[in-house]
Amino acid sequence: MRLFILLLISILLLFQYDFWFGKNGYLDYKRVAQEIQQHKQENEKLSQRNQVLAAEIKDLKQGFDAIEEKARADLKMIKPNEVFYHIVKETK
């Protein structure tokens, strides 16, 4: 009887080992769940960036105001007889 109980306990421990440390065990599950969470956060950031880019493309396709605004901001272009003031932040 004692041998039978030891055999059952050893089988139970073997199954527990597979559950915690084996392939596709609990620790693998936790690691993969954490990777999925990181990928979801990265996808959210990329989705927000894509929405901003889509809005900018829509503005550029709709009219010249957006093109003019982009030229003024990025390329520092000004119209003839126009005064352009560029305020530079002081760095310390």
> Is residue 89 assigned to a domain?
no
pTM attached to this predicted model: 0.50
> Is residue 38 assigned to a domain?
yes
Domain hosting 24: range is: 1-75
Q: How confident is the model at residue 65 (pLDDT cuts 50, 70, 90)?
A: confident
Concatenated DSSP letters for 30-92? HHHHHHHHHHHHHHHHHHHHHHHHHHHHHHHHH-HHHHHHHHHHHH----TT-----PPPPP-
> Is residue 39 assigned to a domain?
yes
Kindly tell me if the per-residue pLDDT of 62 is higher than 90. no
Which has more pLDDT, 26 or 73?
26
> Is residue 41 assigned to a domain?
yes
> Is residue 57 assigned to a domain?
yes
> Is residue 70 assigned to a domain?
yes
Number of independent structural domains in the chain = 1
> Is residue 84 assigned to a domain?
no
> Could you read off the pLDDT of 8-54 as tens digits, one per residue?
998 888 888 877 887 888 888 999 999 999 999 999 999 999 999 99
> Is residue 1 assigned to a domain?
yes
